[in-house]
Structure 1
């Protein structure tokens, strides 16, 4: 395994010396399979981390925090590449169709699981065409409103929506996004008539909240909290089942007026299906190392995110369960990709 994590072990010397050095070093860590040795040292060129959303999105911010830390050691050079479009499916398709050599990865959000139902004709299979590498973080969506607007609580929004059906609106980062489904679940469980306004990204959606052109939004804390701290947005509640560790004083939506409401959002790294286990494990180990670094945890916490690593197997199980959990919400809301 060390040859994946520390490529500079290809020291000058005889073949016998190099082999013995590698064997001794890997014994101290994890011994790689013979197939891994046959593939040569990994990585020996930059790794492309595809973000299927625009710059400044929650996914993009997390990708840049993670990539900068991974690039500090072990010879890893990670380049973030934004490939937005079609609710994240364009970027995901690029990775699904890439060579399974560990040099093209995706940082996806919960939207990856949503899209399995949202888009009936995807060019890839959400579960079969990817090799899960690791969960990276959970980022609560937070219900925000204009800082100078009339809404000071979740109950204020519910009361206004019931008093004036069809007049309130909520915006999102795009149809089928986690910000959209958070609002749709809120609408369904509250039994209220409110209008959804999709935008091309979180930044544009939040801009209209701050300008007073939209009533509220369930936005990722990564994107929303800087504006809350600047006094441009008012945070009313978090969408998660439990209070967020990074925002302990902010109530959940369930506590603030809609019992039973909960919507958790997560992010993780995927590789193309068929990527050798040795490479997946090497990437997983490097991500795990980055996520326990104090500076990374501090940077994530400053964005309202919580580091949440996992094994490849655990992340695969999460993907399967999330596809099953979110499908009914998509169907009940009558959402289709492109709306």
Structure 2
């Protein structure tokens, strides 16, 4: 009898909780939202993060304030958000490295991003691009391969961080072309690009949005993009496959996540707003100008991507024997 009497009370409490959550989502946001970018300013993650934050602020009537918290290949910023209150007022810009690669690289990763962060939406995808110092005496991917093979171990490449898609793209390039190229890691895309332009490094793969301004100005030379299709932002560039490396493919993507336990109604509200923004011609044009393409989709679509990417990059990591202590 006590059990039977408790059932209506439990149902009432559940109904009250649901109503409270719906009310909270309806008024969300009623104060500024912090959006953490776990990498330094100027890179592709920062560019896309700032663009979507600016549009969300316009759409939702509250500031979406970007905060750069770099370090430990993005883990510092990601963990800070995972430890934040799950109320929708702290978000993070996620990428393949921080969500699907780092957990496989770091033996003592302090947290599990796929368990301690709730996915919201994939904002955009971008190709990586193979770029070189303009003074390097090559003009094509095949010439670069020949140049590197003639100088085993003497050609070097930079990466924005250990384990990022630019780094793994380079290791994939080495394995597929049987070249010996020395890795020089940097803390972010911008310092690596600076040294590439200065001649301290010879080549690198980078996300197209970060590299595009320097490609257009001639400060670096682009040889190919890493996706299956050419990029609308740089249609003159061949794909790696067209440039003579069959089967080569990699791309970056940028997303929004919140601390695990954030009310689903708030996650769905942000997801819906982002999808509306991605459908506008003005945002599509803005992304195209920086070499990115809108993605969007549901929260479940994002979860499926996380599973697929985790499997794909685990194979590259094992093949290249990449480890981070």
For each residue in 1:57-92, what CA deviation from the matched residue of structure 2 results, as whole angstroms up to 9, or x when unmatched? 111111111111111123232000100000001111
- 1: CA distance between counterparts of 2:72 and 2:228? 29
Query: Which one is further off, 270-279 or 118-127?
Result: 118-127
The residue that corresponds to 1:316 in the other structure is 303
Contact residue 127 and residue 320 of structure 1 kept, 8 A? no
Q: Shift of residue 295 of structure 1?
A: 2.1
The residue that corresponds to 1:177 in the other structure is 164
Contact residue 56 and residue 203 of structure 1 kept, 8 A? yes
Alignment equivalent of 2:86, drawn from 65, 88, 100? 100
The residue that corresponds to 1:34 in the other structure is 19
Contact residue 246 and residue 306 of structure 1 kept, 8 A? no
- 2: CA distance between counterparts of 1:173 and 1:337? 15
- 2: CA distance between counterparts of 1:38 and 1:61? 33
After the TM superposition, which parts of structure 1 deviate over 4 Å for at least 4 consecutive aligned residues?
none
What is the root-mean-square deviation in Å for CA atoms of aligned residues? Answer: 1.6
Gaps of at least 5 residues in structure 1 are: 1-32
Q: Shift of residue 35 of structure 1?
A: 4.0
The residue that corresponds to 1:241 in the other structure is 228
The residue that corresponds to 1:304 in the other structure is 291
Contact residue 130 and residue 205 of structure 2 kept, 8 A? yes
* Residue 288 of structure 1 pairs with residue 288 of structure 2: no
Gaps of at least 5 residues in structure 2 are: 1-17
Q: Which has the higher helix share?
A: 2
The residue that corresponds to 2:8 in the other structure is none
Correspondences of 1:151-170 after superposition (within 5 Å): 151-170=138-157
The residue that corresponds to 1:268 in the other structure is 255
The residue that corresponds to 2:12 in the other structure is none
- 2: CA distance between counterparts of 1:285 and 1:126? 23
TM-score of the aligned structures, taking structure 2 as reference length:
0.91
Contact residue 161 and residue 168 of structure 1 kept, 8 A? yes
Alignment equivalent of 1:87, drawn from 57, 73, 81? 73
Contact residue 125 and residue 254 of structure 2 kept, 8 A? yes
Q: Shift of residue 149 of structure 1?
A: 2.4
SS in 2 for 1:237: strand
- 1: CA distance between counterparts of 2:145 and 2:20? 59
Contact residue 133 and residue 315 of structure 1 kept, 8 A? yes
Correspondences of 1:43-192 after superposition (within 5 Å): 43-112=29-98, 113-192=100-179
